Amino acid sequence: MEEFRWYYPNSIEEAVGLLELQGVVPHGGGTGIIRGKLDRYKGLISLEGLGLDYIKEVDGVVEIGATATYHDVIEFCGAVCGECILVKSLSRAASTPLRNRITIGGSVAYFPIWSDLMGPLIALDATVSILGKNEGEYPVQELARNRSLKSHSLIKSLKFKRFNGFTYYYRAARTHFDYGSFNITMLASFDDGVFSDVRFVLVGSKAKFQRLAEIENGLIGRAPSDVDVPGLIGELYNSIEFHNTRIGSAEYTKSVALVEIERAIYASFKAMEGEK
C-alpha cells in the first residue's frame, strides 16, 4: 500500500509544482477534507507556509489570501465597516473554533450548499486568482459553475470592490449551529430615492446558487412606491425550487424562502426611507 504523505512547501512555486502529483490536493483548514474518506487522497499539501493568510484593501479593492480564515475576515472587515456583508454572513457560520480554522480558499474550492461565503462573494462580483493547471483570474460564479477549474490548481486569493451601500443577509437554519438550509444576500445602492444598484443571490436551492434577476430588474431604477412586491415574488414562484432541506419539505422551504426574500426587499425600502 502506498504511504500517505503530507507536504509542507515554503513557497508558492513549490506548492504549484506539487499540484502536478496525482491524488495530492491542497489542505486549507481541513474541515471539508475530513468530511470524506481520506483514502481518496495520496497526499495533502499544507498551505500554512505560503504567506497567504493576508487581507488588505488598496484603493477600495479588498484582497483576501487563500489561507485567511473566516475569523480573520470578520475581524478585518468588521474594523473597516460594521455593515460589511461578509461580517454579517461569516459571523453566523459554524462555531467560533471552526471560524478560526475554515479558510477562504478552501471554502471557495469546496463550496458546500450551506456556504455562508459564496452568496456574498457572488453578490460582490468577486474574482478568484488561480495558479497551476488553470492559472488565471476568474469570476467567482464561473468557478462555482465549472468545478473542473480547481483540478490541479491552487486558489491564491480573491478580490472584490468594497461595497458601501445597504447589505442584508438571511440564513435559514433550525438552530444557530445547524448547517444552513438556504441563505439570501442582498446588496443595494440608492440614488435620489430610487434603486441604482441591486444584487440579490439565493444559495441552497436546487440550482445551488441563483442571482435573482427578477428582483434586481424589478427594483433598479424604481422608487419603493413604484415596486409591485407581491408581483415580483409571484414571478419568482416558478424560478426557485428546493430539495427537501433540514428545515422541512421542498415546498415548505420554498415558502419560507419567498417570505424571506420579501422581507429583504422591505428591509431595503426601510433603509432607503432612513436615508432621506
Ligand X SMILES: Cc1cc2nc3c(=O)[nH]c(=O)nc-3n(C[C@H](O)[C@H](O)[C@H](O)COP(=O)(O)OP(=O)(O)OC[C@H]3O[C@@H](n4cnc5c(N)ncnc54)[C@H](O)[C@@H]3O)c2cc1C
With CB atoms as reference, the residue minimizing the distance to ligand X is 106
Q: Does 195 engage in binding with ligand X (CB under 6 A)?
A: no
Q: Does 155 engage in binding with ligand X (CB under 6 A)?
A: yes
Rounded Cα–Cα distance for residues 276 and 272 (Å) = 7
Rounded Cα–Cα distance for residues 210 and 90 (Å) = 19
Q: What angle do CA 261, 88, 119 make, to 5 degrees?
A: 55
Please state the separation of Cα 231 from the chain's center in Å.
28
When computed from its CA atoms, the radius of gyration of the chain, rounded to whole angstroms, is 20
Q: Does 154 engage in binding with ligand X (CB under 6 A)?
A: yes
Q: Which residues 33-52 are close enough to bind ligand X by CB under 6 A? A: 33, 47
Q: Segment near ligand X (CB under 6 A), from 137-145, 148-156, 227-235, 256-264?
A: 148-156
Residues 6 or more apart in contact with residue 169 via CB below 8 angstroms: 85, 88, 89, 92, 119, 120, 183, 184, 185, 186
Region at 229 (left for phi over 0; alpha for psi -120 to 50; beta for the rest):
alpha
Kindly determine how many residues on this chain lie close enough to bind ligand X according to the rule CB under 6 A.
Answer: 31
Q: Which residues 86-125 are close enough to bind ligand X by CB under 6 A? A: 93-94, 98, 102-103, 105-107, 109-110, 112, 114-117
- Residue 177 φ/ψ, nearest 5 degrees: -85, -10
The binding track of 167-186 with respect to ligand X, each residue x by CB under 6 A or -, is ------------xx------
Residue choice 26, 65, 120, 218 for contact with ligand X (CB under 6 A): 26
Shortest gap between Cβ of 54 and ligand X (angstroms)? 13
Q: Does 150 engage in binding with ligand X (CB under 6 A)?
A: yes
Which residues of this protein are in contact with ligand X, per CB under 6 A?
A: 25-33, 47, 66, 93-94, 98, 102-103, 105-107, 109-110, 112, 114-117, 150, 154-155, 179-180
